[in-house]
């Protein structure tokens, strides 16, 4: 009997341990997502003044983690967890939702008390953490929501807290924000998009599609453009024209830009080495990515670390980037001098003055697809005007010593046309939709053949 009893105790302990492991975060010992949900749902089901949710995200954790290593990062998370637990009132639950994101859920509490708590949390996280005799001040952003705010179930509460936390981040961090009932629908949608995008960063929701640029003299794909793609289970494919502006507005573009440049450069280097080619990868870059300190040096350093020659990279900027910010010019000059390509994207749609253009270190002009597609306008006068514009841009390109590429070339007819008008390169659906790098690189002057169309005459 004694043996049987011991056996039972042991099994019970093992089960308890297992249950504990399934419900807790192994690093910090806090409740995990599953347990937080279970407890929160229980709290929501009981009567009282309502449930408060404080969603907490460390502001500079990534910086510490990247510069001091994951070991120290982990230690910091453990301290952060302890701090959050000390702050949580009796009856509250503290959980780790993943990464550097924590949540405090408090039952039966008022808005006033919640606000007090939020303030205390922000203050407490403004105090440095001491690790190995060094001080680390990371700070935190808090999104705060109360179950009286409209949301009734846990998922909805967490979503609203996320939007609120996002507002705290956007306000510069080290602060809390309530979810705001009165936020207009569009503002809400944008914030939600930004919150989702922030979450998607670093996940496989984000990807890169490649589109070739074909040399019209040889018919060879000699360059390729990297285009960001975002697809989520709930939103489907979100077009760049929707999410890039949000990323720019919120500063997320800086991290995303770094990521796509890294991946695109690694991909093209692998391709070039494997096939002994000399293809250049063009990456779109926003103003915000170019105005920081030492941007050019950072890019050159990245290439050096990856052992990639500078001629395999080019950056594309729009005219507005050139026009808006004086600080961009020295960066572009440094990039060009280092051997990196500099393209003016969507040329003709912005406000470059010729005087300005002369100062810019442009190696490639990309004629906006509106002009290119204007060549096929049913009205002969409109088509003729478009042809004049394309010819003029080609002349500008010549004067600047830059190549000229026609964007948005959708069919063989247009391809023939832009070639006649003197464009050096063409890019567009005629060579296939943006896709894998291998697919992009197999495109050549035989555009249209694969889909059974006539091969473009005179391209080779
Ligand atoms: P863009 O740099 O001018 O890129 C060309 C856009 O035209 C791409 O749209 C491409 O898919 C589309 N396109 C290519 N060929 C054709 C064609 O024959 N016909 C038509 N109708 N369209 C064609 P996408 O991928 O939707 O990107 C839109 C814009 O988003 C880009 O315009 C670029 O400004 C921006 N973008 C994309 N990826 C990034 C990125 O990684 N960073 C930044 N900062 N911006 C990006
Ligand atoms: Mg582009
Ligand atoms: Mg373009």
The domain spans of the chain are: 19-181, 206-449
Q: Is the distance from CB of 296 to CB of 266 less than 8 angstroms?
A: no
Bin 29: left if φ > 0, else alpha if -120 < ψ < 50, else beta.
Answer: left
Q: pLDDT (tens digit, 9 = 90+) per residue, 318-352?
A: 887 877 677 888 999 999 999 999 999 988 877 77
Q: Which atom of ligand 1 sits closest to the CA of residue 346?
A: 3
pLDDT, tens digit (0-9, with 9 covering 90-100), for 35-73: 999 999 999 988 788 899 999 999 999 888 888 899 999
Alpha carbon of 241 to ligand 1 centroid (Å): 8
Whether 406 shows a pLDDT value over 90: the answer reads yes
Distance (Å, whole) CA 126 – CA 104: 17
Q: What's the pLDDT score for residue 456? A: 35
Ligand 2: distance of its center to the CA of 101 in Å? 35
Residues lining ligand 1, Cβ inside 6 A: 211, 227-228, 239-241, 244, 253, 257, 260, 284-286, 316, 345-346, 369, 408-410, 428-429, 434
pLDDT tens digits along 245-254? 889 888 899 9
* Nearest-angstrom CA–CA distance, 442 and 420: 24
CA of 211 to the centre of ligand 3 (A): 12
Q: Which residue has the tokens 């018919």?
A: 219
CATH number for the domain formed by residue range(s) 206-449? 3.20.20.450
CA of 15 to the centre of ligand 1 (A): 54
Q: Are 214 and 202 in contact (CB under 8 A)?
A: no
pLDDT confidence of residue 434: 95
Query: pTM above 0.75?
Result: no
What does the block give as tokens for 276? 């002994």
Task: Please say whether the beta carbons of 224 and 211 come within 8 A.
Answer: yes
The first and second tokens of residue 203, run together, are 């996940």
The whole-number average pLDDT for the span 395-422 is: 96
CATH level 3 topology of 19-181: Alpha-Beta Plaits (3.30.70)
Q: Which residues lie below 8 Å from residue 49, measured CB to CB, with a gap of 6+?
A: 108, 109, 110
Report the candidate in 406, 409, 458 with the shortest Cα–Cα distance to residue 429: 409
The helix/strand/coil state of 31 is strand
List the one residue out of 226, 236, 63 whose CA is nearest residue 139: 63
Given a cut of 50, is residue 457 above it in pLDDT? Answer: no
């Amino acid at each position: 009997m004694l043996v049987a009893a011991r056996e039972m105790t042991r099994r019970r302990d093992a089960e308890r341990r297992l249950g504990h492991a399934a419900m807790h975060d192994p690093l910090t010992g806090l409740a995990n997502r599953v347990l937080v949900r279970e407890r929160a749902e229980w709290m929501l089901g009981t009567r009282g003044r309502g449930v408060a949710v404080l969603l907490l995200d460390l502001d500079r954790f990534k910086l510490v983690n990247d510069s001091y290593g994951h070991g120290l990062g982990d230690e910091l998370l453990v301290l952060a967890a302890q701090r959050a637990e000390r702050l949580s009132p009796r009856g509250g639950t503290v959980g780790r939702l993943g990464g550097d994101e924590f949540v405090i859920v408090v039952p039966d509490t008022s808005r006033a008390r919640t606000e007090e708590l939020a303030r205390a949390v922000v203050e407490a996280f403004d105090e440095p953490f001491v690790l190995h005799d060094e001080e680390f001040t990371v700070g935190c952003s808090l999104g705060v929501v109360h179950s009286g705010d409209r949301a009734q179930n846990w998922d909805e509460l967490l979503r609203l807290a996320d939007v609120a936390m996002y507002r705290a981040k956007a306000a510069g961090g080290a602060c809390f924000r309530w979810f705001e009932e009165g936020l207009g629908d569009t503002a809400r949608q944008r914030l939600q998009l930004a919150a989702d995008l922030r979450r998607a960063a670093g996940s496989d929701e984000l990807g890169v599609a490649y589109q070739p640029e074909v040399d019209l003299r040889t018919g060879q794909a000699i360059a390729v453009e990297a285009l960001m793609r975002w697809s989520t289970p709930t939103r489907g494919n979100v077009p760049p024209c929707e999410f890039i502006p949000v990323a720019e507005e919120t500063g997320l573009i800086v991290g995303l830009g770094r990521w796509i440049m890294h991946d695109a450069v690694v991909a093209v280097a692998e391709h070039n080495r494997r096939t002994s080619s000399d293809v250049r990868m063009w990456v779109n870059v926003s103003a915000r990515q170019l105005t920081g300190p030492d941007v050019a040096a950072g890019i050159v350093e990245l290439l050096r670390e990856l052992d990639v020659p500078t001629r395999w990279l080019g950056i594309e900027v729009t005219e507005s980037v050139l026009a808006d910010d004086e600080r961009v010019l020295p960066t572009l000059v440094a990039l060009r001098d280092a051997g990196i390509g500099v393209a003016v994207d969507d040329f003709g749609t912005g406000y470059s003055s010729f005087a300005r253009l002369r100062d810019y270190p442009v190696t490639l002009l990309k004629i906006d697809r509106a002009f290119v597609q204007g060549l096929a306008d049913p009205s002969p006068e409109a088509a003729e005007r478009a042809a004049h514009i394309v010819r003029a841009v080609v002349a500008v390109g010549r004067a600047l010593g830059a190549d000229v590429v026609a964007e948005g070339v959708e069919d063989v007819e247009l391809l023939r046309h832009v070639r006649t008008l003197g464009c050096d390169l063409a890019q567009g659906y005629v060579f296939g939709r943006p896709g894998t790098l291998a697919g992009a690189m197999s495109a050549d002057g035989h555009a249209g053949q694969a889909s059974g169309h006539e091969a473009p005459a005179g391209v080779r």
